[in-house]
Amino acid sequence: MGQFATPPKLARDIAASALSLLGPNERIKYLEPGLGTGAFYSALTGLVARQRVETAVGYEKDPRYARATANLWRDRGLVVREEDFTTAAPPGGDASRFNLVVCNPPYVRHHYITQAAKLNLQARCRRAGGVTLSGLTGLYGYFLVLAHAWMSENAVAAWLVPSEFMDVGYGAAIREYLLKKVTVLRIHRFDPADVQFEDALVSSAVLWLRRRSPEPNHPVVFTQGGSLDEPRTTRAVPAVKLTSEAKWTRFPQRGVRTARAGFTLGDLFEIKRGIATGSNKFFILSGERIEALQLPMECFRPILPGPRYLKEDVVRSDDEGWPVVEPHLFLLDCSEDESKLRKRHPTLWRYLQTGTPDVATRYLCRHRDPWYTQELRRPAPLLCTYIGRRGKNGRPFRFILNHSCATSHNVYLMLYPKPALRAAMEHDSGLLERIWQKLNSLSADTLLQEGRVYGGGMHKLEPKELAKVPMHDVVDDLPSVRRAAENALPLFASNA
């Protein structure tokens, strides 16, 4: 059910910060949409006199918790609704709504929400908050928007949520809601290396908002690190600037972007994620295992091992073009029909039968025909690691020069030169290597501001994010790239 308990001190800090946004004598009508055992209500009772709380209601779907919590707070004024908040009917008028909402909503990824449930949630959110959430949104996003219909005018809400909504494409609708339907007061992002929940590697944020139409240029305060009372970094950003910024996690460490005409990496390269096999363990085999199983090598092609096996940032090749790296790995890739395969390569057919109970039924495999064929990903001359932590050099990503004929799986992003650059490379054999050197000299900050970060300090770059990395200095320092770009301006101008 996506239940992750809020640490008591954090619950108290969040409740205290939310209370400070109410008037000192304002009577409290309290709502906790994801109650659990009432960590936030417990904090509230320790912060204000009981007579100040006019109403307190909590929703809890899990009957075990709902009943235990009702027992716990029976004499302390909390009404526990054993009900799913996302399907509950909101109050009819402003007088019966709540002026203080505090919640750590369930963290359930979209994969575990049925399509029917998503459609219902999306429709309810359109009615409540006037936005249509992406089908990739986690359950916490629906809680956040649905609560809009439960809040009175000028009500305050504090949400403890994953910080992913600040970066990802499917968070755009949540960001739209925050900028157009309410007044965002502050967003505090915890240090990604300081995971708030021991049982979840999620980078967390606390979001404070007021149900009030936003002023045109009101400031949103971004804080990061330290504690809620004493953050390490603080920056106020005009809300109007956030409408054109897709990466809110750049704040507060960085300021508002200054627009600069020029090239990005996506202007020079077509960027694709490596092959998603459906089961690396089943489809990627060592040369020794292929030999031991007597499988036909003609049904395999070389594939690079993961980044931790590459001791340097250059993949060299032997006379046949195969990579000179350990271990030697090969991707099973065969499009021949099973009936033909059984006659032509019986050992391979028998091996495939070992995957039919499990591998063949997985999402990627069952959408392929035949299920064991693979995506077409020709070898890429440049690769970028897809995910990583800051190493000793402070760089979570590596650019790798690939001289081999090996393809790559989805731990890498594959960079293919676009036509104008490819033409320039044909006249200058050393151009690709100079570009590779320039890419590895880019500051870590240049890459990090386009990517995203998860709990535990894990950084990730998607293809579209890598494509946005600015290449002004690289192009300026390489005249042949500059000339190629100018000779094919329409090709490059799309992302400039």
Residues 24-40 have a mean pLDDT of 93
pLDDT band at 491 (very low <50, low <70, confident <90, very high): very low
Residues 70-79 have a mean pLDDT of 89
Residues 215-237 have a mean pLDDT of 91
Q: What's the topology of domain 8-250?
A: Rossmann fold (3.40.50)
pLDDT at 454: 64
Instruction: Give me 388's structure tokens.
Output: 């990583």
* Residue spans per domain, the chain: 8-250, 265-332+374-493, 334-371
Residues 165-183 have a mean pLDDT of 93
Q: Is the pLDDT of residue 493 over 90?
A: no
Q: In CATH, which of 3.30.2320, 3.30.9, 3.90.220, 3.40.190 is domain 265-332+374-493?
A: 3.90.220
Q: Is the pLDDT of residue 184 over 50?
A: yes
pLDDT at 201: 41
pTM for the whole structure: 0.68
Residues 173-198 have a mean pLDDT of 83
For residue range 233-271, list pLDDT tens digits in order: 999 999 999 988 888 988 898 888 766 556 788 888 999
For residue range 316-335, list pLDDT tens digits in order: 999 888 999 999 999 998 99
pLDDT at 266: 87
For residue range 116-126, list pLDDT tens digits in order: 999 999 999 99
Q: Is the pLDDT of residue 285 over 60?
A: yes
pLDDT band at 427 (very low <50, low <70, confident <90, very high): confident
Percent of the chain scoring above 70 in pLDDT: 90
For residue range 454-478, list pLDDT tens digits in order: 666 677 888 988 888 887 767 666 7
The pLDDT mean for the chain works out to 88
pLDDT at 93: 82
Q: Is the pLDDT of residue 494 over 60?
A: no
